[in-house]
Amino acid sequence: MQARHTGASLQCQAHMTSPEPQAVSPFSVIATVDDLRKSIRQKSKLKGRQSDDVSISEVRDLIGDAPAEGHPRDLLIEYLHLLNDAWRGLHDRHLVALAKEMNIPMAEVYEVATFYHHFEVLKGDAKAPGLTVRVCNGLPCEMAGAENILARLPVLLGNPDVRVIAAPCIGRCDQAPAVAVHQTVIAYATPELVMAEIKQPNKNLPASSEKLNFSASDFTEKSLIVPSHGGPADYVGYQAYREAGGYSIAAALVNCEEDSDPVLKAMEDSGLRGLGGAGFPAGRKWRIVQAFPGPRLMAVNIDEGEPGTFKDRSYLERDPHRFLEGLLIAAQVVGIRTCYIYLRDEYHDCRAMLEKELELLRADPPCELPRIELRRGAGAYICGEESAMIESLEGKRGLPRMRPPYIAEVGLFGLPTLEHNFETLYWVRDIVEKGPEWFSSFGRNGRKGLRSFSVSGRVKQPGVKLAPAGITVQELVDEYCGGMQDGHNFYAYLPGGASGGILPASLNQIPLDFDTLQPYGCFIGSAAIIVLGHQDKARDAALNMMRFFEHESCGQCTPCRVGTSKAARLMQADAWDNDTLDDLSQVMVDASICGLGQAAPNPVRSIQKYFPHEIGVL
């Protein structure tokens, strides 16, 4: 143990080594500032658990040696993924070593590692399970029999080294029930299919096609994408996209062959709004961020965790370069040099495909490219909220920020940031190429534009349906989904996923679009439509949603953290305590920082208003 020198001990040593005692002035310098700093550093190294050479070596093998300026702080979550993938968990000894290698406090590493659901911290000699099987318990999967799979699988497996757990929505609602075996998703899962995957893992990854020419706009006013039955879909590869005219608009802008002002005006005139849920006008957002002095950044949200939502995945896994060209166009118009893509961790196949296609794009670029960083989420629904995603991209816990300031001004790393949902950027090329009037020419019931509806539940043909904005749910079910499943009559629907509330079938003629559902206590959000039949109970759907919110609350706000938990307990009673639920709902709406807590009461209020007979109110 190293000696700890205090001012007094230094004085004693000075007296002992001097041949003759001398008076010490109270103003004499006993130790230099550098000596004191060195002493403090020596002390700090002894606090807490110390890293060992083996663990440091194992961490370095994964993250590499530190550059001269040190490991970037924002890569913490990426490094945790590397460790988690390699060791099937996060051993505490590796966390200590990682903190040392990144030169950040262990407390910061630990708080991030324990915040995200896809990380598991293993203490001491604890061992990770050999395999984890996640059974989706989102509403569409619960309706399709997920509880039966959860009950039967452990018995069939009889293997303590295989862990079976319930997991929130994994974005495969059109293929319910869905089960993830490690990073492989089993669509239309049965216990037998899951067992087969465990015994003989399927290593197939998406394959590019140089002959395929997919464009979602070709499917307007038609039933869109047929669900892939478990296997990865072929997608439009880089060369095929280039040969079909892809990246020509982006290249013309970057090479100054076209002016950016008409592009910005086209975005504004099209009426395109943010398609992640908030619905902010896209062109207006570009202009706002453009007005702030640079450098500017872009953050793309592909963390679609809203139960019932899978549209971004469906487009990305078939036509990735249309999205990437939209990103390049936006970057050039707004003046952005670095773009961050935040991709949901559950989309393993999409990540592998996107990594490959980005390499091809960089190897043979159509024009000068901005820096594009692909970042991986870690299973936190809250990171779909834009400021929480920004925090996660910085390598922190995904805690929503207080606003103002808004991220358009003070965003990622404190810089002006253009934040967009995947689908918003996906439509940019078509709008610029075909003109804003093309996009705005679609619509019904007085609404304008196109909407991609993720439809699941008791319909014959679930999937992504590209339909006119303002279509009604009855038209959507009848014209695009083949009607209701046999044996099920239309009873109720969720117009905007977990957050959007629940409406009875009697309100089946409301135009589905931004701002049309608010008078009914609901909203469209990401356009995730979950259809219930007469054998389902709306109160069960509401309870499923509240349990989801309880699980996904980041815990920052007491009203949300405590309110969702208490509401979930109260909603299990045959007759609801409506007075208490009303109080909880109001507090959550009034005092929560972000949309999760503010929207969590929507299913409760919908049941109270439209389905009172289900909760003991006559």
- What pLDDT is stored for residue 61 in this prediction? 98
- In the chain, list all ranges with CATH 1.20.1440.230: 537-617
- What pLDDT is stored for residue 202 in this prediction? 72
pLDDT beyond 60 at 518: yes
pLDDT beyond 60 at 363: yes
Q: Which of 434, 420, 13, 444 is nearest to 215 (CA)?
A: 434
| Residue matched to tokens 């490219």 | 369
CB count within 10 Å of CB 319 equals 20
Mean pLDDT of 166-191: 96
In this structure, of 38-42, 117-121, 201-205, 535-539, the range with the lowest mean pLDDT score is: 38-42
- Please state the pTM of the whole predicted model: 0.90
Residue 15 pLDDT class (50, 70, 90 cuts): very low
pLDDT beyond 90 at 7: no
- 452-500 pLDDT, tens digit per residue, is 999 999 999 999 999 999 999 999 999 999 999 999 999 999 999 999 9
Q: How far is CA 490 from CA 505, 532, 536, 540, 545, in A?
A: 6, 6, 10, 16, 20
- 82-112 pLDDT, tens digit per residue, is 999 999 999 999 999 999 999 999 999 999 9
- What pLDDT is stored for residue 40 in this prediction? 57
Residue 200 pLDDT class (50, 70, 90 cuts): confident
pLDDT beyond 80 at 24: no
Q: Note if the bond before 295 is cis, omega within 30 degrees.
A: yes
pLDDT beyond 50 at 11: no
CA 569 – CA 583 distance, rounded (Å): 15
- Give percent of the chain with pLDDT exceeding 70: 88
Sign of CA dihedral 607, 610, 613, 618: positive
Residue 345 pLDDT class (50, 70, 90 cuts): very high
Strand partners, 265: none
CB count within 10 Å of CB 449 equals 20
Q: Which of 136, 350, 360, 376 is nearest to 233 (CA)?
A: 350
pLDDT beyond 50 at 197: yes
pLDDT beyond 90 at 529: yes
pLDDT beyond 90 at 534: yes
CB count within 10 Å of CB 17 equals 7
Structure tokens at 21: 């005692």
- In the chain, list all ranges with CATH 3.40.30.10: 131-199
Contact 200, 192 (CB under 8 A): no
pLDDT beyond 70 at 212: no
Contact 424, 272 (CB under 8 A): yes
The architecture CATH gives domain 537-617: Up-down Bundle (1.20)
CA 207 – CA 200 distance, rounded (Å): 21
Structure tokens at 440: 């705005």
Q: How far is CA 227 from CA 460, 462, 464, in A?
A: 12, 8, 8
Q: How far is CA 203 from CA 130, 312, 599, in A?
A: 18, 23, 39
Residues written for the chain: 618
- 565-601 pLDDT, tens digit per residue, is 999 999 999 999 999 999 999 999 999 999 999 999 9
- Give percent of the chain with pLDDT exceeding 90: 84
- In the chain, list all ranges with CATH 3.40.50.11540: 208-221+231-438
Q: Which of 361, 328, 341, 330 is nearest to 236 (CA)?
A: 361
Q: Which of 420, 511, 430, 459 is nearest to 220 (CA)?
A: 430
pLDDT beyond 80 at 209: no
User: Which CATH code for domain 208-221+231-438?
Assistant: 3.40.50.11540
Structure tokens at 396: 């922190």
- What pLDDT is stored for residue 159 in this prediction? 87
- What pLDDT is stored for residue 116 in this prediction? 98
pLDDT beyond 50 at 13: no
Residue 376 pLDDT class (50, 70, 90 cuts): very high
Mean pLDDT of the chain: 91
pLDDT beyond 50 at 25: no
The architecture CATH gives domain 450-534: Roll (3.10)
Q: Domain 131-199's class?
A: alpha beta
